[in-house]
Structure 1
Amino acid sequence: MKKQHLPTKMCPICNRPFQWRKKWEKIWEEIKYCSEKCRRHKKQAY
């Protein structure tokens, strides 16, 4: 994969795009949040 062709997703908490990372390779479909901070604050958003 070339860096300019990495998949991206939008974080539902901060509404910012984030890119695929090697450590998420096997679980990319499950990733919803861009960071641990956003994941922790998911309950406050609703």
Structure 2
Amino acid sequence: MPSQRSKSDLPTKICPVCQRPFTWRKKWADCWDDVKYCSERCRRRRSDIARREE
């Protein structure tokens, strides 16, 4: 059985909407490079951020 990683060893990213760090999840194992947002709520709010920057 492989040894488990501690949570502090998992990769993290910063959400461009809420500016909070979020950590790798098992369901993102195949698409971690494509994940940009920490949650569905932030993904839906991405257009609000784009309008604010203009």
* TM-score between the two structures when normalised by the length of structure 2: 0.81
**Structure 2: tracts of 5 or more residues without a match:** none
**Structure 1: tracts of 5 or more residues without a match:** none
Secondary structure of the residue aligned to 1:12 is coil
Q: 4+ residue runs of structure 1 moved beyond 3 angstroms?
A: none
Aligned length: 46
Structure with bigger helix share is 2
Q: Name which structure has the greater RCO, CA cutoff 8 Å, separation 6+.
A: 1
Q: Percent identity?
A: 54
Matches within 5 A, 1:10-21: 10-21=14-25
| Aligned match for 2:43, one of 20, 39, 46 | 39
Distance (whole Å) between structure 1 residues aligned to residue 12 and residue 44 of structure 2: 21
Larger gyration radius, structure 1 or structure 2 = 2
